[in-house]
Chains A and B, each alone.
Chain A
Amino acid sequence: MTEKRSFTLDQQEIPFQPGDSILQAAQRAGVYVPHLCFHPDFSANGSCRLCVVSIAGKTVAACHYPARSGLQVTMNNSRLQQQRLRLLQLLFAEGNHFCPSCEVSGSCQLQALAYDLGMTHYHYDPFYPQRPRDGSHPDFFIDTDRCIFCDLCGRAGTEQDHKPVYRLGGRGEQTRLLIYSASGKLGDSRAAADDKAAHVCPVGCILPREGHYRDPIGERVYDASPIHWVGNRRRDQHAAPAADSAGDPSHD
């Protein structure tokens, strides 16, 4: 007889498979855990830290913490929500995120999480960094002002496209999205239109040219429902799920 593998997440029993992280198991069970840098197709990175949960009084990242039978995991309490809010505010303060004119507004996971967590202001003084923009590629425009350093593009390039195009360079405040090419421009790199790496950005950093404003207000990914309902989706995925399919594990 096989022992049933499960843990509890906010008192809900979550089954898991060997090798699952808490976040992977929760996603498979249809339970939404806030995150930005995690994608089920790629190795976990643990950089955004928005998936923080509490286990026996210890705060850990759910995307990295291995699921084990009998764990009692707390995801939603006021302390953890406040920590997520502060982490999110740090991300906003670190870049130049001007939602009113951003073409990903309404379909942006960073913005959607900010709404979901009730963010009303930056809290921290904005850095107003000066970062380059890159319009050298015929299919994509890069606006590094909006990069949140999740490295999803880097991991997708390495693990699925099997070619390096994007990577993070520098440390701390000086961290930047860099392009593998002699000139440092995307147009001189091996980037192609159907690269997975170009279609995983959760924010408005790697943009298909002239794409997003074609979505009328009301039809964007998060216009109708919040991210904890829709999941982490991009506009180039299919339409948002119906209300009764919340937490569809096929969402990344």
Chain B
Amino acid sequence: MSRRVAIDPVTRVEGHGKVTLMVDDDNRITEARLHIVEFRGFEKFIQGRPYWELPLVVQRLCGICPVSHHLAAAKAIDQIAGATELTPAALKLRRLMHFAQVLQSHALHFFHLAAPDLVFGFDSDVSRRNLVALIQQHEALALQGVRIRKFGQQIIEAISGKRIHGIAAIPGGMNAALDPGAVREFQDRVGDIKTWCEQTVRLVRKLYLQNRPFHEAFGHTDASSLSIVGGADQLELYDGDFKVIDADGALLHRHPARQYHSLLREQVKSWSYMKFPFLADHSPATGWYRVGPLARLNTCCGIPTPLAEQARVDYLTTLGSPVQSPLAFHWARMIEALHCAEAIGSLLSDPDLSSDELRVQGDKCHEGIGVIEAPRGTLIHHYQINDDDQVTMANLIVSTTHNNQAMNESIRQVAAQHLDGRSLTPELLNLVEVAIRAYDPCLSCATHAMGKMPLLLALQSTSGNLLQSLSRDADGHIQYAD
């Protein structure tokens, strides 16, 4: 008789999830399902709202990367407001805000959530695997992480009035210029941030290569990669067109970002609120892909800042392209963080930032599509409005959703490698969480779920019988329930 394993809850991940492992009579993992079991329904309840509210409403999807939602919605409503080209000051303010967002989010993801696993080891005492222990035993490293994140958050605050959920983007531009005093203060500090990001890239490289066979095999999944890219296929986080490569690195698609609907389809499954996007010219079974830092460094042909470009070349030379190991996400992530620090340094010196020309207007239309690279991957916001400026349709495809099937595949690989017979163990539960965290610590925006991220690990037969379950509460208590 085959059986099913479920993990509940997942920790150091934002949201609420459940993992079911389907096991056959020979104890082989046949399928892994990451269920997203909460629902918020943003796409529905923003219908009827005036379109200029969107950047403020939808940023509430997430507390980790609200700026990405804010700016993706802003790009969409620019089109609705007929603003075909922003002023240089508004565009650079938005880019600065976005670089700060990616920097702070990557710092949070690596230092606060993933580093305890990488530094102490996946099998170390669970009570030690957290940021507090990291601060106690590696104070300089942990505090650098906290300060990098703080720097990004403070730039966001200077532009939008708040570190989380501020107000900045309005239809056709931005609502205020950046205070020159704040610019000077950030200029004084950005050098340290770049240095710390460089050090962190070296650290994550060292950690990865210290146990390279394990890290490369952990959750290894050959997948296509999707992201937007800039001119000459450079790494681009704010605006560009889609590029998709297959698992071997061959080009599959170049596609205008605003025509995402002819590139992608979404499949719905009964066991999860999270949809399954796939390439429209493939079947759902073969058309899934990966997004995020790992995918972005696979699709791009260069990074337009020197230190990050140097790190990218070293990363690809060392690992070979395209990289397919989920734990390499962290390495790619910190290369992007270094890029953000460099880009912030350049933008802070840009004279356009002091301009008060922040808004343009044009002929209104009824549809807008904003595509942006959020910290964890490609983010698509699509809205339609009626003649009264009220939203009639919203479609949000967030990074976690793009990575849905890739995460399932990586979880299946991890379980296949580490499930000991028919017994669920805390160690397996932790390894599954490590795989999820490599992709994404934030499942909440995928179904627009809220709350902490408890996880249920369930073992299930292929006939659907629950054989065993293991859950972890938010306070770390593990419970077995057969």
Residues of A within 8 A of B (CB): 100-101, 103, 133-136, 141, 143, 207, 209-210, 213-219
Helix, strand, loop or mixed for chain B's interface?
Answer: loop
Decide: A217 and B53 in contact? CB cutoff 8 A.
Answer: no
Decide: B175 and A215 in contact? CB cutoff 8 A.
Answer: yes
Decide: B50 and A135 in contact? CB cutoff 8 A.
Answer: yes
Decide: B48 and A133 in contact? CB cutoff 8 A.
Answer: yes
Given A103-B53, A213-B170, A217-B162, CB of A135 within 8 Å of CB of B60: no
Q: Please list 24 pairs of residues, one from A and one from B, whose beta carbons are closer than 8 Å in the complex, sorted by A's number.
A: A100-B56, A100-B60, A100-B165, A101-B53, A103-B56, A133-B390, A134-B388, A135-B388, A135-B390, A141-B389, A209-B50, A209-B389, A213-B56, A213-B170, A213-B175, A215-B167, A215-B175, A216-B161, A216-B175, A216-B176, A217-B160, A217-B162, A217-B167, A218-B161
**Interface: B82 (CB within 8 A):** no
Decide: A213 and B52 in contact? CB cutoff 8 A.
Answer: yes
Q: Size range of the interface on B? A: 20 to 34
Distance between Cα atoms of A103 and B57 in the complex (Å) = 10
Query: What residues of B have a CB within 8 angstroms of the CB of A218 in the complex?
Result: 161
Decide: A141 and B56 in contact? CB cutoff 8 A.
Answer: no
Decide: A136 and B388 in contact? CB cutoff 8 A.
Answer: yes
Query: What residues of A have a CB within 8 angstroms of the CB of B52 in the complex?
Result: 103, 209-210, 213
Distance between Cα atoms of A70 and B56 in the complex (Å) = 52
Distance between Cα atoms of A103 and B175 in the complex (Å) = 13
- Which residue of B160, B165, B167 has the most chain A CB atoms within 10 A of its CB atom? B167
Report B40-67 residues with CB < 8 Å from chain A CB. Answer: 48-50, 52-53, 55-57, 60
Distance between Cα atoms of A100 and B57 in the complex (Å) = 8
| Chain B residue at minimum C-beta to C-beta distance from A136 | B388
Distance in angstroms from B82 CB to nearest chain A CB is 12
8 tightest A-B CB contacts, nearest first: A217-B161, A135-B388, A216-B176, A101-B57, A101-B56, A135-B389, A210-B52, A214-B175
Query: What residues of B have a CB within 8 angstroms of the CB of A141 in the complex?
Result: 50, 389
**Interface: B88 (CB within 8 A):** no
Distance between Cα atoms of A147 and B60 in the complex (Å) = 23
Distance between Cα atoms of A204 and B386 in the complex (Å) = 21
Distance between Cα atoms of A216 and B93 in the complex (Å) = 14
Query: What residues of B have a CB within 8 angstroms of the CB of A214 in the complex?
Result: 170, 175
Query: What residues of A have a CB within 8 angstroms of the CB of B49 in the complex?
Result: 133
